[in-house]
Amino acid sequence: MSFEVLLFGPYADAAGARSVSVEAGEDGAVRAGALLAAIGEQVPALRPLLGGARLAVNNRFAESDDEVNASDEIALVGLVGGG
Protein backbone atom coordinates (compact mmCIF):
# COMPACT_ATOMS: atom_id res chain seq x y z
CA MET A 1 0.00 0.00 0.00
CA SER A 2 1.26 3.46 -0.89
CA PHE A 3 1.48 6.16 1.79
CA GLU A 4 2.10 9.82 0.94
CA VAL A 5 4.29 11.59 3.47
CA LEU A 6 4.50 15.39 3.51
CA LEU A 7 7.97 16.89 3.81
CA PHE A 8 9.07 20.26 5.14
CA GLY A 9 12.29 22.08 5.82
CA PRO A 10 15.50 20.02 5.53
CA TYR A 11 13.50 16.90 4.65
CA ALA A 12 11.99 18.60 1.62
CA ASP A 13 15.38 19.98 0.67
CA ALA A 14 17.06 16.57 0.92
CA ALA A 15 14.37 14.75 -0.99
CA GLY A 16 13.93 17.52 -3.53
CA ALA A 17 10.20 17.24 -3.07
CA ARG A 18 7.36 18.37 -0.83
CA SER A 19 6.22 14.77 -0.35
CA VAL A 20 7.32 11.20 -0.94
CA SER A 21 5.35 8.06 -1.61
CA VAL A 22 6.32 5.05 0.48
CA GLU A 23 5.18 1.45 0.14
CA ALA A 24 4.34 -0.17 3.46
CA GLY A 25 1.88 -2.26 5.40
CA GLU A 26 -1.01 -4.37 4.29
CA ASP A 27 -4.72 -3.76 3.84
CA GLY A 28 -4.27 -0.01 3.79
CA ALA A 29 -2.78 0.36 7.29
CA VAL A 30 0.63 0.28 8.92
CA ARG A 31 2.13 1.03 12.32
CA ALA A 32 3.78 4.44 12.52
CA GLY A 33 7.10 2.96 13.54
CA ALA A 34 7.12 0.64 10.56
CA LEU A 35 6.22 3.48 8.22
CA LEU A 36 9.07 5.58 9.56
CA ALA A 37 11.44 2.67 8.99
CA ALA A 38 10.09 2.27 5.47
CA ILE A 39 10.84 5.93 4.75
CA GLY A 40 14.45 5.35 5.70
CA GLU A 41 14.65 2.23 3.55
CA GLN A 42 12.96 3.62 0.46
CA VAL A 43 14.15 7.25 0.46
CA PRO A 44 17.94 7.16 0.85
CA ALA A 45 18.23 10.95 0.81
CA LEU A 46 16.24 11.12 4.04
CA ARG A 47 18.00 8.30 5.85
CA PRO A 48 20.72 10.45 7.49
CA LEU A 49 18.12 12.92 8.74
CA LEU A 50 15.72 10.54 10.47
CA GLY A 51 17.34 10.46 13.91
CA GLY A 52 14.80 12.02 16.24
CA ALA A 53 12.21 12.34 13.49
CA ARG A 54 8.58 11.63 14.26
CA LEU A 55 5.54 11.05 12.13
CA ALA A 56 2.58 13.34 12.48
CA VAL A 57 -0.75 11.81 11.53
CA ASN A 58 -3.66 14.18 11.00
CA ASN A 59 -1.69 16.94 12.73
CA ARG A 60 -0.83 14.93 15.85
CA PHE A 61 2.38 13.14 16.71
CA ALA A 62 1.99 9.40 16.30
CA GLU A 63 3.37 6.83 18.71
CA SER A 64 5.31 3.96 17.19
CA ASP A 65 2.44 1.50 17.62
CA ASP A 66 -0.27 3.82 16.36
CA GLU A 67 -2.05 2.62 13.24
CA VAL A 68 -1.72 4.82 10.18
CA ASN A 69 -4.06 4.60 7.23
CA ALA A 70 -3.19 5.53 3.69
CA SER A 71 -6.01 8.07 3.75
CA ASP A 72 -4.50 9.93 6.73
CA GLU A 73 -2.53 13.16 6.34
CA ILE A 74 0.99 12.09 7.23
CA ALA A 75 3.97 14.37 7.74
CA LEU A 76 7.58 13.86 8.73
CA VAL A 77 8.39 16.22 11.60
CA GLY A 78 11.83 16.78 13.09
CA LEU A 79 14.83 19.08 12.90
CA VAL A 80 12.44 21.88 13.82
CA GLY A 81 13.60 25.40 14.54
CA GLY A 82 10.75 27.58 15.73
CA GLY A 83 10.96 30.45 18.13
Chain contacts with other proteins (rule: CB under 8 A): 6, 8-10, 13, 56, 59-61, 75, 77-83
Which residue number, 1 or 54, has a Cβ lying nearer to other proteins? 54
Minimum distance between the CB of residue 11 and other proteins, rounded to whole angstroms?
9
Which residue number, 9 or 33, has a Cβ lying nearer to other proteins? 9
Minimum distance between the CB of residue 26 and other proteins, rounded to whole angstroms?
27
Please answer whether residues 28 and 51 qualify as being in contact, where contact means their C-beta atoms are separated by less than 8 angstroms: no
Cα–Cα distance measured from residue 76 to residue 47, given in angstroms and rounded to the nearest whole number: 12
CA-derived radius of gyration, the chain:
12
CA nearest neighbour of 66 among 36, 38, 42, 39: 36
Minimum distance between the CB of residue 28 and other proteins, rounded to whole angstroms?
23
